Amino acid sequence: MIQTLFLLASRSAWSRKGSLLLLLLSVITSACLLLGIDLARQSAKASFSNAVAGTDLIVGAQTSPVSLLLYSVFRIGQATRNVPYAEFERLEQDPRVKSALPIALGDSYQGFAVVGTKAIYFDQFLYGARQNLQFAQGRAFENYSVGKPAGVLFEAVLGAEVAKRLKHKVGDKIALSHGMQIQQTEPSHADKPFTVVGVLQPTGTPVDQSVHISLAGMEAIHVDWAAGVPVPGAEIPAEYVTKFNLQPKSVTAVLLGLNNRAGVFRMQRELESRPNAALSAILPGVALSTLWQTVGVVERVLLFVAALVSVVSALGLTSVMLVTLGQRRREMAVLRSTGAGPRTVFGLLFLESALVMWVGVALGVLVLALGGAALAPWVQAQFGLQLVGLKELGAGLLAVLSFAAFGSLLGLVPAFQAYRNQLQDGLNPKTN
């Protein structure tokens, strides 16, 4: 009986495939929209938390937690003030601190952020499931100390995406720009080019979009600069910079890993109350959830719109089914005269709505899974976002399942209408 129902429903549906295909498309689109929004949301959350996995505290100049998090980790926005280098050294020597990684921002290379740091960054920075950075090619830059040749200063390690997009390999020379200038005829630090000494493996974090140089190197390209512009007539060639004091004066932020994570709140309070330092110390997890709360409104609006679109497409399906019932009375009468009872006809109509819904939703999930896989490299390159797998989309999958269930339930309306028609009409199709 069920087999007969399926056979009839699918054959009948196939004979009207033109209009059903359009309905199917609208269901697919709705399912993709529902899932896609969740995919973007979960991917953003996963990427953001991956990037701060190994960091217990982020220390920067006094500012709001969210903006400190955004500029220090995600290179979004700019710091207005910096942390004095002496404060960084104090943190470095603090017995409670396991790792203190300085971050000095402000320069860029072809739109990618330049990060001034120390060589230990490559050993101690943790991301994702507390993984270490790995080199795809080459090595870390060398820490500079007085007496070493000037070449040591101008070594750079590229994030995976930078190397891939700009087709760089170890040995290439790159010229940095001051600030975040994207396209300019002449990079403003072209007088002191850097040599690529290493390329990192992809991490799915902002590290991939960063160019890493030493703090001393960053100092060196600015020796002949003052107040953000080159001092006219005072150009100092790269080979002479070693004659100057290259001790950094400040860093933008410090990523702290603690020996004992339980002490994180005490440490935070203590850092923020340090006299004369005006520091902010934030817990990345807390700052992230503040960020998500802020973004949550937008997220909810998007979900609400997606839900509305889904309701509209389910209603569209139902109304088309209702309209076509009039044209299908003959079909229903033939079915009845050959022995299909009103319940069979009810089942047939319900099955058709349900088939369109579930097939549409299944195809929508498939489209999103395939599309997600196909677009993942592009999204990674464009937005630095690593798309999560479908199995991470609990809420999204629940939403599309509810959508399919809701649409199927609405299918009861035309089914019931057909049932009633069946009882009213006689057996003879010509009576219509």
Summarize as ranges the residues that interact with other proteins (CB under 8 A). Answer: 1, 4, 8, 11-12, 14-15, 330-331, 334-335, 337-344, 423, 426-431
Q: Strand, helix or coil at 328?
A: coil
Do 26 and 313 touch, CB atoms closer than 8 A? yes
Toward other proteins, which CB reaches closer, 6 or 292?
6
What's the min distance (Å) between Cβ of 43 and other proteins?
44
What's the min distance (Å) between Cβ of 321 and other proteins?
16
Q: Which of 306, 413, 277 is nearest to 37 (CA)?
A: 306
Distances (CA, A) of 287 to 2, 131, 146, 265: 55, 22, 39, 14
Q: Which of 267, 296, 292 is nearest to 69 (CA)?
A: 292
Main-chain dihedrals φ then ψ at residue 204, nearest 5 degrees = 75, 20
Do 57 and 256 touch, CB atoms closer than 8 A? yes
Quickly tell me which residue has 């949550």 as its tokens. Answer: 296
Q: Ramachandran region of residue 183, left (φ > 0), alpha (ψ -120 to 50) or beta?
A: beta
Q: What is the DSSP letter of 240?
A: G
Cβ neighbours of 138 (radius 10 Å): 17
What's the min distance (Å) between Cβ of 337 and other proteins?
4
What's the min distance (Å) between Cβ of 411 and other proteins?
20
Toward other proteins, which CB reaches closer, 19 or 134?
19
What is the rounded CA–CA span in Å between residue 248 and residue 181? 23
What's the min distance (Å) between Cβ of 387 and other proteins?
41
Toward other proteins, which CB reaches closer, 4 or 319?
4
Toward other proteins, which CB reaches closer, 10 or 273?
10
What's the min distance (Å) between Cβ of 327 and other proteins?
12
What is the rounded CA–CA span in Å between residue 202 and residue 164? 10
Toward other proteins, which CB reaches closer, 340 or 357?
340
Toward other proteins, which CB reaches closer, 30 or 344?
344
Toward other proteins, which CB reaches closer, 335 or 368?
335
What is the rounded CA–CA span in Å between residue 105 and residue 67? 14
What is the rounded CA–CA span in Å between residue 309 and residue 26? 9
Toward other proteins, which CB reaches closer, 233 or 339?
339
What's the min distance (Å) between Cβ of 421 and other proteins?
13
Toward other proteins, which CB reaches closer, 263 or 426?
426
What's the min distance (Å) between Cβ of 338 and other proteins?
4
The pair of structure tokens assigned to 256 is 């702290």
Do 55 and 74 touch, CB atoms closer than 8 A? no
What's the min distance (Å) between Cβ of 19 and other proteins?
14
What's the min distance (Å) between Cβ of 348 and other proteins?
11
What is the rounded CA–CA span in Å between residue 20 and residue 13? 7
Taken in order 149, 194, 143, 222, the sign of the CA dihedral is positive
Toward other proteins, which CB reaches closer, 394 or 426?
426
What is the rounded CA–CA span in Å between residue 408 and residue 143? 65
- Angle at the Cα of 384 from the Cα atoms of 380 and 388, rounded to 5 degrees: 60
